[in-house]
Structure 1
Amino acid sequence: MRVMVFVKASAEGDEDFVRTPGTIKMMEEMGRFNEALRRAGVLVMADGLKPSLCGKRVHFDGAGRNISDGPFAEPTEVVAGFWIWNVKDMDEAVAWVKRCPNPMPGPSHIEIRPFYEADDLG
């Protein structure tokens, strides 16, 4: 089963990356975690995203389109990074996330969402 694992930003985590001893340590820990995912055959893809200040949102209303520039109001609703994993089930995905270093400089959230597979769509 494929899942997308979203790292949600925190108020501090939706800012541009700054090299500090803390962020360097977190990136080293995340590198070791990613290597463990790779060795286990779980990791399909992973990447970090620039802060929402660099982003745009396209709002749809029928045929109309409206564009808003970042930053976006609720940092905890912004995706800061992601993985795509291939796991046997949701329990395995949860077990991997529990091993993950905290991706933000304080409280943070990671969301796991399964992809639709061909069998799901009939």
Structure 2
Amino acid sequence: MKYMLIMRATDEAYQGMGDVDFNEMIETMGRFNEELIRAGVLLAAEGLDDAEEGVVVDYSAEPPVVTDGPYGETKELFGGFYLLNVASKEEAVEWAKRQPITGPGFKTEIRRVTTIDEFPQDNEWIKKERAWRESTGQL
């Protein structure tokens, strides 16, 4: 099963990271990533650029409204993710507990990633997506 570990933190937690040596942080994350790779569970992992560089597309109006970051009402920002292939939610939780960037203001949300096999296979759009995935080596 695939699970996404979504790394979230408050503005204060991100500001506190400014005091951490960048090379030390990369080394710490690298060791954790290496553990995931050796265990054969890592499918993808990425960090995100600063929220001030992002935008939000709000579909509450027509046409949709685009707003530049930062997002005033956001209490926690999504800072990156891991995509793991593990046997259970419990295993995903155990990996999240080992994630090295921790402390007050940091959280990891864990969500199962649904697969194409969970949708009606006779649907024309599912058939098209399955064909695309097969042609790109994703199945």
TM-score (norm 1): 0.83
Q: Which amino acid aligns with 1:41?
A: G
Q: Among 105, 113, 116, which residue is 1:115 paired with?
A: 113
Cα drift, residue 25 of structure 1: 2.5
Moved more, 112-121 or 26-35: 112-121
Cα drift, residue 5 of structure 1: 1.1
Runs of 4 or more, structure 1, over 6 Å off, are none
Give CA-to-partner distance per residue, 1:91-122, whole Å, 9 cap, x none. 1000101111125x643100011111234324
- Using the alignment, how far apart are the partners of 1:42 and 1:114 within structure 2? 14
- Using the alignment, how far apart are the partners of 2:11 and 2:51 within structure 1? 11
Larger radius of gyration: 2
Cα drift, residue 35 of structure 1: 0.5
Cα drift, residue 37 of structure 1: 0.2
Structure 2 contact 3–83 (Cα < 8 Å) conserved? yes
Structure 2 contact 4–113 (Cα < 8 Å) conserved? yes
Structure 1 contact 55–70 (Cα < 8 Å) conserved? yes
Give CA-to-partner distance per residue, 1:47-89, whole Å, 9 cap, x none. 111111000000113652100100112241x210111111111
Structure 2 contact 13–105 (Cα < 8 Å) conserved? no
Aligned position for 2:67: 68
Indicate the structure whose relative CO is greater, using CA pairs within 8 Å and at least 6 residues apart.
1
Q: For structure 1, list consecutive stretches of 5 or more residues without a partner in the other structure.
A: none
Aligned position for 1:80: 79
Q: Which amino acid aligns with 1:109?
A: K
Count of residues paired in the alignment: 118
Distance 1:68 1:14, change over 3 A: farther
RMSD between superposed Cα atoms in Å: 2.2
- Using the alignment, how far apart are the partners of 1:58 and 1:4 within structure 2? 23
Hey, which of these two has a bigger chunk of helix by percent? Answer: 2
SS of 2:114's equivalent in the other structure is: coil
